[in-house]
């Protein structure tokens, strides 16, 4: 006979509603802006409509390929990279092309060129190359800035990337662009065998869910980028994105504090300014100085105390 138990899924539903209620009080976007594209959250400074993003680099086009069984894809309009996830803590995950050489009909696609953009390749990525006796180099202009080589063993194709048929290495800091070139490792394998190289988020690469040989059938892999707000003067930084409330209010007035060289974002958030060079600075904000606050520090009233 049916018991009188309260269905577990309803409990789950109620707790989800409560959590969601709290979360929805904290804005992630400017007023009137879509908080999501498909299942990806789009927090400010990223945004979809005019007035929703900080500048064109952060403009997202929510691309709907019009077939009912697919969810819309968020594309960074300027770089044309598809976004997988955005964090207000200064990172985003995008799909980055794999560079193939001599792999059936696959074309050579290089990693996205991020020069001049507020994005760079995060050091949480690894550069990996797959091939039997391959040297893959990351080149910047004429110079090699990284790379790795793998020895050949046709009987040992596996899931690990440890120098046999597959190699991986760390990436340099502040990396914004590179070209992948391949060389043959003398005495190893045949020069015309399929080789490919890619940069990928280390967590994805090491998650174990990724079969190295299966990557050959993909076109792109998740890569982590850092995003930064950088401008040509402190005034420009704050003047550009701080929504000043002209009636005064208790909000931190960043521009006032330039004189005292004590910088700040909005209430309940803290802010760091890094000097990039003589006429360029970088701004990074965080909600609160502890775990007590959450939200989006780049929005007016974006940081709220956590309810425990
Ligand atoms: C969005 O959906 C895709 C496909 O179902 C999934 O792979 C991805 O992890 C989801 N992303 C988020 C942020 O939930
Ligand atoms: C796109 O969707 C609209 C509305 O569902 C439909 O009328 C149109 O034929 C679709 N176009 C394509 C190219 O599938
Ligand atoms: C995307 O970028 C292009 C230029 O590359 C620009 O013309 C266009 O207005 C931007 N926005 C959208 C929604 O396409
Ligand atoms: C492999 O790629 C190189 C460089 O693109 C090319 O010269 C060579 O003909 C290719 N070999 C095969 C078998 O496709
Ligand atoms: C190739 O891999 C097989 C299986 O892992 C191993 O037994 C063999 O010793 C390897 N050969 C070389 C030359 O490393
Ligand atoms: C990895 O993928 C290849 C090709 O898709 C498949 O043949 C192989 O069995 C897979 N290996 C593992 C350990 O999943
Ligand atoms: C500005 O701040 C005052 C005082 O906190 C508030 O009453 C007013 O609604 C705010 N105006 C806007 C446009 O947010
Ligand atoms: C912030 O400070 C600047 C420079 O002192 C001043 O012009 C501006 O009116 C102030 N804004 C607010 C909201 O107090
Ligand atoms: C700061 O956090 C407190 C506690 O959550 C909240 O009541 C207050 O509205 C926040 N201030 C602003 C300006 O968002």
Q: What is the pLDDT of residues 197-206, one digit of tens each?
A: 999 999 998 8
**Cα–ligand 4 centroid distance for 102 (angstroms):** 6
Distance 298 CA to ligand 9 centre (A): 14
Residue count of the chain: 308
Question: CB within 6 Å of ligand 5 — which residues?
Answer: 153, 155-156
Determine the structural domain holding residue 167 and report its residue range: 92-227
Beta-carbon neighbour count of residue 109 at 10 Å?
15
Distance CA 66, CA 70 (A): 8
Q: How many domains would you assign to the chain? A: 3
Query: Are residues 100 and 222 both part of a single domain?
Result: yes
Distance of CA 23 to the CA centre of its chain: 22
Q: 150 and 270: one domain?
A: no
Let me know whether 247 and 218 are in one domain. Answer: no
Q: What is the pTM of this model?
A: 0.77
| Cβ within 8 Å of residue 100, ≥6 positions away | 106, 107, 108, 109, 194, 195, 196
Nearest CA to ligand 5 atom 14: 153
Whose structure tokens read 């930064």? 228
Asked if residue 245 has its Cβ within 6 Å of ligand 6, the reply is: no
**What is the pLDDT, as a whole number, of residue 222?**
96
pLDDT band at 291 (very low <50, low <70, confident <90, very high): low
The span from the CA of 245 to the CA of 182, in Å, is 55
Q: CA 200, CA 304: separation in Å to the nearest integer?
A: 34
Q: Is 131 left (phi over 0), alpha (psi -120 to 50) or beta?
A: left
**pLDDT tens per residue, range 220-257:** 999 999 998 865 444 444 444 444 443 333 333 443 34
Nearest CA to ligand 3 atom 10: 77
- Predicted confidence band of residue 70 (pLDDT cuts 50, 70, 90): confident
Take residue 156 and report the two structure tokens written for it.
């040992």
In a domain, 27, yes or no: no
**12, part of any domain:** no
Query: At 34, is the pLDDT very low, low, confident or very high (cuts 50, 70, 90)?
Result: very high
């Amino acid at each position: 006979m049916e018991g009188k138990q309260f269905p577990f899924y309803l409990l789950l539903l109620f707790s989800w509603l409560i959590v969601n209620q709290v979360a929805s009080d904290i804005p992630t976007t400017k007023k009137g802006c879509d908080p999501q594209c498909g299942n990806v959250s789009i927090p400010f400074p990223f945004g979809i409509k005019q007035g929703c993003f900080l500048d064109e680099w952060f403009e997202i086009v929510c691309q709907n390929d019009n077939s009912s069984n697919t969810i819309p894809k968020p594309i960074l309009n300027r770089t044309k990279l598809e976004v997988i996830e955005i964090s207000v803590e200064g990172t985003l995950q995008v799909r980055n092309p794999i560079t193939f050489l001599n792999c059936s009909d696959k074309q050579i696609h290089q990693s996205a060129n991020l020069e001049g953009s507020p994005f760079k390749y995060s050091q949480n990525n690894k550069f990996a190359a797959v091939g039997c006796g391959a040297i893959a180099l990351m080149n910047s202009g004429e110079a090699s800035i990284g790379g790795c080589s793998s020895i050949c063993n046709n009987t040992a194709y596996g899931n690990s990337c440890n120098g046999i048929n597959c190699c991986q290495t760390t990436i340099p800091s502040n990396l914004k662009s590179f070209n992948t070139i391949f060389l043959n490792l003398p005495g190893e394998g045949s020069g015309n065998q399929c080789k490919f190289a890619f940069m990928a988020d280390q967590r994805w690469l090491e998650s174990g869910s990724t079969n190295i040989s299966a990557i050959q059938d993909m076109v792109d892999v998740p890569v982590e980028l850092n995003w930064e707000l950088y401008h040509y003067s402190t005034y420009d930084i704050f003047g550009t994105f701080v929504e000043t409330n002209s009636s005064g209010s208790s909000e931190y007035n960043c521009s006032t504090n330039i004189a005292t060289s004590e910088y700040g974002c909005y209430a309940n958030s803290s802010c760091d300014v890094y000097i990039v060079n003589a006429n360029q600075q970088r701004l990074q904000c965080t909600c609160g100085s502890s775990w007590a606050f959450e939200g989006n520090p780049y929005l007016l009233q974006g940081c709220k105390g956590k309810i425990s």
